[in-house]
Structure 1
Amino acid sequence: MDFTYVTTLKNNLTKFKPLTDIEAAVLRHNERLNEIYNSNALEGNTITLNETRLILDDGITIAGKSMREHLEIVNLLEAIEYAEDIVKRKQCLTETVIKELHSLVYNKLGADTRDRGNYRRLPVEIVGSQHQPTLPQQIPYEMAKLIKWSQKEKEILHPVEYAAALHEKFAAIHPFIDGNGRTGRLLLNFALTEAGYPSVIVKADNESRLIYNNTLETAHVTGDLEPFTRYINELVENKLERMIDLLEKANAYDHIER
């Protein structure tokens, strides 16, 4: 795959005067709300985007929605904040980081706390998938291998290619009993942002969900990661294009004000 365009877009961001701290904070807050809503909706959470905002911004409990759905919203915010802090501190990806991400995602969701941040002890099947996730006894080995792969390949692969591959490999292992989808998307954005690329949102609408699931399934079953990588690359390109458009407008307004 050719990553020239996405690299050029990223480099073009430096040509613009940055947003103010307050502007950047407002945008990031809105992005988080969208990321939390969509990532949870992909896993069947029925809380809407506006309800997500009410829960996180106003502390409102939504009538007719389960406690689990509310917790999934709050938990994912805490996990995103943890991942952002790890990137800010330039901490490398480790099994401990992955387990902590899952622990935050899965906080208070299971009656047995042993499921939080611990690899599953049972074999699982993914309904509708031809892929068989890693057997429980092999998970520690495969996760250790994933970290070794990560340490090597992030210095070799283009950041977008690396981020897509990291997500795919983690999803193929399916190391936890639940919460793998949300944790995998956190890892995707962890890899992108530590390389200076923006985080992306896999939308929960039917078309986006289908492309995401089908390209991920193809990668799992055939070993061909290109369709999935192409999809992730398009998400990054679209995000960068929107960021550049926003900066162009902000800079133009700034010029008029002067």
Structure 2
Amino acid sequence: MSSFETGSFEGDPSTLTLEETEQILAGRLPTAPHELREVFEASNLARVTEDLLHVARTGAADVLTIGEILRWHGALLTGIRDDAAGRFRQGDEWVRVGSHLGANPPFVREMVERALERFQSEAPANIIERIAWFHCEFEMIHPFVDGNGRIGRVLMNHQLLRAGMPPVIVRARSRRTEYYPALDVYSRTDRHDEMTRLLALLVLEALRKRIALLTSPDVISLAQWARSADMRGNVAANRAKRQTLPAFRMRDRWMIASDHRE
């Protein structure tokens, strides 16, 4: 089990269903009882995502800055941790993620600035690899008291959008098996290969989803497609995870263009 799973400061996974999240985004409270934090998390993330897309469309932030990071973090934690929103850790605000100790608070800003400078000016030249490295380094610094994972994934999508690629979803169900282990590898070895591989697969999936929705008359479940293609369901699912099939997830269900042929 990854130390990043056992020591995460992001809180428990959300118990909101997709329908309840949609209710919150429409300005209504969910009918079932939930922690108020979950309601704020959903609505805050929606506002930040809208701003993220606006910035990407208008080119208002060609270069990611400390100011943008703090602004988005402040928006994410509004109503959740107002005392820590929009500022780096300071004083004796140490954080530990499993066996990893976040950066010394007085040096957090300097370390984030150095990571931004390296991302913008240094190798590796491959943009996916650069984004994966920056994300790992940002999470090792763990610059905030709370919300490090959420803001880190927001920044990842900002960088993807600025590079002309679609945003990705690091799904809660796969974090324990893929995302946290990739961070754990970086914390122990300084190697970001696993995060690069995961990010490349997520980008490929996001692209295939957009292509299918734009070019296919319909999308169907992967299980339905596998039956028509005389392929075992588990084989199709494994190929989807490796992206050797142009499948993608919608509402946590693997889908594929109905007219796809091998």
TM-score normalised to structure 2 length: 0.73
Change (3 A) 1:228 1:242: same
String of CA shifts for 1:156-192, please: whole Å, max 9, x gaps: 6222112212211111111000001000000111111
The residue aligned with 2:24 is 55
User: What does 1:123-134 align with in structure 2 at a 5 Å threshold?
Assistant: 123-126=94-97, 129-134=98-103
State the Cα distance separating 1:143 from its structure 2 match: 1.3
Q: Distance in 1 between matches of 2:67 and 2:178?
A: 31
Take 1:237 and 1:151, find their aligned partners in 2: how far apart are those partners?
Answer: 23
Structure 1, residues 234-254: CA drift from partner, whole Å, max 9, x if none?
111112122222222159xxx
- Residues 53, 190 of structure 1: alpha-carbon distance in 2 compared, 3 angstrom cutoff: same
Once the two structures are TM-superposed, the CA of residue 49 in structure 1 deviates from its matched residue by 1.5
| Cα-Cα RMSD | 2.0
Higher RCO (Cα < 8 Å, 6 or more apart): 1
Distance in 1, matches of 2:11 and 2:175, equals 10
**Structure 1 contact 202–209 (Cα < 8 Å) conserved:** no
Show structure 2 runs of 5+ residues with no match. Answer: 1-9, 219-262
Match for residue 135 of structure 2?
A: 167
8 Å CA contact 1:55, 1:61 repeated in 2? yes
Larger CA deviation: 184-193 vs 129-138: 129-138
Q: Match of 1:199?
A: 167
Query: Pick from 178, 183, 203: which aligns with 1:236?
Result: 203
Conservation of the 8 A alpha-carbon contact between 1:54 and 1:60 = yes
CA distance in 1, matches of 2:198, 2:137: 16
Larger deviation, residues 140-149 vs 56-65? 56-65
Structure 1 residues 78, 237: CA separation in 2 closer, same or farther (over 3 Å shift)?
same
Contact preservation (8 Å) 1:163, 1:189: no
Q: Distance in 2 between matches of 1:138 and 1:76?
A: 28
Q: Is the 8 A contact 1:55 1:62 kept in 2?
A: no
Tell me, yes or no, if structure 1 residue 219 matches structure 2 residue 190: no
For this pair of structures, how many residues does the alignment match? 205
Amino acid aligned to 1:226: D
Structure 1 distance, partners of 2:12, 2:161, is: 23
State the distance in 2 between where 1:138 and 1:62 align: 44
The answer as to whether partners of 1:164 and 1:228 remain within 8 angstroms in 2 is yes
Local SS of the residue matching 2:103: coil
Using the TM superposition, give the Cα deviation of residue 83 of structure 1 relative to its aligned residue in structure 2, in angstroms: 1.6
Structure 1 runs (4+) greater than 6 angstroms displaced: none
Gaps of 5+ in 1: 1-40, 252-258
Q: Does 1:96 align with 2:67?
A: yes
1:187 aligns with 2:158: no
- The one-letter code sitting in structure 1 at the alignment partner of 2:113 is A
Once the two structures are superposed, what CA deviation does each residue of 1:6-46 show, in whole Å capped at 9, x if it has no partner? xxxxxxxxxxxxxxxxxxxxxxxxxxxxxxxxxxx985221
Deviations 1:52-103 (A, max 9, x none): 0111125233431121111111111111112222222321200000001100
Deviation larger for 175-184 or 160-169: 160-169
Task: Provide TM-score, normalisation by structure 1.
Answer: 0.74
Other structure's SS at 1:59 match: coil
8 Å CA contact 2:132–2:199 kept in 1: the answer is: yes
Change (3 A) 1:62 1:179: farther
Kindly provide the CA deviation profile for residues 80-138 of structure 1, in whole angstroms up to 9, marking residues without a partner as x: 1122222223212000000011001101112xx34111111211111xx3322111011
C-alpha separation between the residues in 2 aligned to 1:229 and 1:245? 24
